[in-house]
Amino acid sequence: MPVRRSTNTESVRGLLKRKDMALALYRLQTLVFDWPQEDGPEMASVNKAILIGNLGRDPEIRYLPSGQPVASFSIATTETFNDRNGARQERTDWHNIVAWGKLAELCGQYLKKGRQVYIEGRISNRQYEAKDGSGKRYRTEIVAQRIQFLGARGGAGIDMMDDQREVPMPDMPAPPEDEDIPF
């Protein structure tokens, strides 16, 4: 039996235009968490990673026996913060990225070590046997669904999505206006 939605038909976008954030957030929760499930309790989940960083190495392009290309590379993200004593500190994290299909080919063509890149994707954990036979290994990766190759200062980047569309984009997108907020 489907879950009954609120009888008030005012959209979330309309609420945001009126700047009624509390009601807009309530409506979003209703839309996400009241989605009918066939079995078990009603739950929703999100698996999304968004990163901007610099490539640590050139992408490695492999081809599966089916001919599908796969690109693997790593990017570094750096966080700057002040420690307890007020001294400025930097912390760098490395992220393993995997891209498939046309997106993988474009990564191999346009990305080089040191280039800045914007990545949207999902977090994936996989296990495999070590080459030396010493046991199982585990790896966390970001499976890229959208990549924006950020250009040199003052230049334009290239925006690539997993559906293989090319869209020229500026280095950083302009902040959305109040009426353009997607929720």
**pLDDT tens readout for residues 8-67:** 445 656 655 565 666 666 666 666 555 555 555 666 889 999 999 999 999 999 999 999
Distance, in Å, from the CA atom of 81 to the CA atom of 98, rounded to the nearest integer, reads: 29
Share of the chain above pLDDT 70, in %: 58
> Are 148 and 172 a contacting pair, CB within 8 Å?
no
Distance, in Å, from the CA atom of 118 to the CA atom of 98, rounded to the nearest integer, reads: 13
Look at residue 149 in the predicted model and tell me its pLDDT: 86
- Does the predicted TM-score (pTM) go above 0.75? no
Two tokens, residue 122: 């999902």
Look at residue 30 in the predicted model and tell me its pLDDT: 62
How is 39-108 classified by DSSP, letter by letter?
SSS-------EEEEEEESSPPEEEE-TTS-EEEEEEEEEEEEEE-TTS-EEEEEEEEEEEEEHHHHHHHH
Comparing 5-14, 34-43, 90-99, 174-183, the range with the smallest average pLDDT is 174-183
SS3 of the chain: helix, strand, coil, percent, to 5: 15, 40, 40
The Cβ-side half-sphere exposure at 173, using a 13 Å CA radius, reads: 11
**pLDDT tens readout for residues 122-147:** 999 988 888 888 889 899 999 999 99
Say if residue 96's pLDDT is above 50.
Answer: yes
Look at residue 107 in the predicted model and tell me its pLDDT: 93
Look at residue 174 in the predicted model and tell me its pLDDT: 46
Domains of the chain: 12-44 (no CATH), 49-169 (2.40.50.140)
